């Protein structure tokens, strides 16, 4: 079938088939044409193209190009429903946030606002229970989501709240934001892991340990059901910087922990505690290495 519409080219009329329209949009998506007639493309989007899969690709291409006209045309013509989800429960809104990544500008935030206005459930969860807030790594997007009612107590399939997800991913600025907005540092996931324990599990994550410690001193020696502590997790992962920081802030070894390390021979680690005058000395041995820390 062919369609006729008046284009902004004098008094001429142009004829486009569905196939031609799809090709035009696909060429834009794949950067096959250097310059697309804007009026023609927008008209095709609004009045002709009905290929939902193609229109979704166009939407995300427009996000990457920061093309507000195409995005607004798609949304205003109801060609894109930001609440739609894929087979894994990931909504178009979630994908938009993921595509924007860590670094966003004012344009990105304006588009987030436009999409938020059309979002029916800001706490929609994918198949793993993750929400849009759990997926973002950007402070400004997280702040906008929270200001629009995103939950800080909702949990994913692993039992993790947004704070626990932020700790696991080393997102220091989000940790401050979530705690400031009422997230509980006492939250634990399905395995009984606190935010501090999740942070201790990550290599080269000393900044997150430092960020969490002022909030976590009362639970620094918390043990889950199988006896894991933040300190023991840091030891098991050879996270030396985290281990030293935890020790200096009151984490301690006890006989049970030393026995666990010895009996399980986890990574050949041995911890020896001794005293010299008023100092406590912890000697941590990895294979043939020996490191002493004085307090």
Model pLDDT for residues 270-286, shown as the tens digit of each residue = 667 777 777 777 776 66
Give the whole-angstrom CA distance, residue 211 versus residue 167. 9
Q: Among 128-132, 179-183, 235-239, 247-251, whose mean pLDDT is lowest?
A: 235-239
Please give the mean pLDDT across all residues of the chain.
83
d(CA 262, CA 270): 7
The DSSP secondary structure of 226-261, one letter per residue, reads T---HHHHHHHTT-HHHHHHHHHTT----HHHHHHH
Q: Which of 174, 182, 187, 190 is nearest to 134 (CA)?
A: 174
Q: b/e string for 6-40 if b means 16 or more Cβ within 10 A?
A: eeeeeeeeeebeeeebbebbeebeeeeeeeeeeeb
What pLDDT, on the 0 to 100 scale, is given for residue 8?
43
pLDDT tens column, 48-106? 888 899 999 999 999 988 889 999 999 999 999 999 999 999 999 999 999 888 889 99
Q: Is the Cβ–Cβ distance between 195 and 163 less than 8 Å?
A: yes
Q: What are the pLDDT digits (tens) for 143-176?
A: 999 999 999 999 999 999 999 999 999 999 999 9
Helix (H, G, I), strand (E, B) or coil at 195: helix
> How does pLDDT run across 116-145, given as a tens digit for each residue?
999 999 999 999 999 999 999 999 999 999
Residue 253, pLDDT score: 72
Residue 113 has pLDDT above 90, yes or no: yes
Site of tokens 């950007």: 138
pLDDT at 1 over 80: no
Long-range contacts of 216-222 (CB under 8 A, 24+ apart): 216/185, 217/249, 217/250, 219/185, 219/186, 219/194, 220/196, 220/246, 220/249, 220/250, 220/251, 221/250, 221/251, 221/252, 222/194, 222/196, 222/197
Alpha helices in 86-205 (DSSP H): 92-100, 106-116, 132-135, 139-147, 162-168, 172-180, 195-200
Core vs surface per residue 47-60: b (16+ CB within 10 A) or e:
ebbebeebbbbbbb
233 token code pair: 């997790």
Residue-level pLDDT at 3: 38
**Domain extents for the chain?**
1-80, 81-150
Fold classification of 81-150 is 1.25.40
- pLDDT above 90 covers a percentage of the chain that reads 51
Residue 203 is predicted with a pLDDT of 81
Place of tokens 């301690």: 252
Q: How far apart are CA 276 and CA 243, in angstroms?
A: 21
Q: Which residues contact 269 (CB under 8 A, 6 or more apart)?
A: 235, 236, 238, 261, 284, 285, 286
| CA distance readout (Å), 214 to 179, 193, 277 | 11, 18, 29
Given a contact cutoff of 8 angstroms between Cβ atoms, the answer to whether 99 and 111 are in contact is no
Task: Tell me the pLDDT band of 18, cut-offs 50, 70 and 90.
Answer: low
Count CB neighbours of 256 within 10 A.
11
């Amino acid at each position: 079938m062919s369609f006729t519409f008046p284009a902004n080219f004098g008094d001429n009329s142009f004829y486009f088939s569905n196939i031609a329209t799809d090709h035009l949009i696909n060429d834009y998506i794949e950067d096959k044409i250097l310059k697309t007639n804007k009026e023609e493309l927008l008209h095709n989007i609004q009045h002709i193209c009905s290929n939902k899969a193609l229109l979704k690709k166009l939407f995300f291409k427009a996000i990457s190009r920061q093309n507000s006209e195409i995005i607004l045309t798609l949304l205003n013509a109801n060609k894109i429903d930001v609440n739609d989800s894929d087979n894994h429960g990931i909504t178009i809104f979630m994908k938009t946030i993921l595509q924007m990544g860590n670094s966003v500008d004012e344009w990105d935030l304006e588009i987030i606002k436009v999409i938020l206005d059309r979002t029916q459930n800001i706490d929609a969860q994918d198949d793993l229970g993750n929400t849009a807030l759990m997926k973002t790594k950007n402070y400004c997007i997280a702040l906008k989501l929270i200001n629009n009612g995103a939950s800080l107590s909702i949990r994913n399939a692993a039992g993790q709240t947004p704070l626990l997800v932020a700790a696991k991913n080393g997102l220091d600025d989000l940790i401050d934001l979530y705690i400031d907005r009422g997230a509980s540092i006492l939250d634990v996931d399905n395995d009984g892991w606190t935010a501090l324990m999740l942070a201790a599990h990550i290599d080269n994550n000393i900044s997150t340990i430092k960020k969490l410690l002022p909030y976590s001193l009362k639970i620094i020696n918390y043990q889950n059901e199988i006896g894991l502590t933040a300190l023991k997790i840091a030891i098991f992962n050879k996270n030396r910087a985290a281990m030293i920081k935890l020790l200096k802030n009151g984490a301690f070894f006890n006989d049970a922990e030393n026995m666990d390390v010895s009996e399980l021979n986890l990574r050949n680690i041995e911890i020896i505690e001794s005293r010299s005058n008023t100092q406590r000395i912890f000697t941590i041995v990895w294979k043939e290495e020996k490191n002493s820390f004085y307090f």
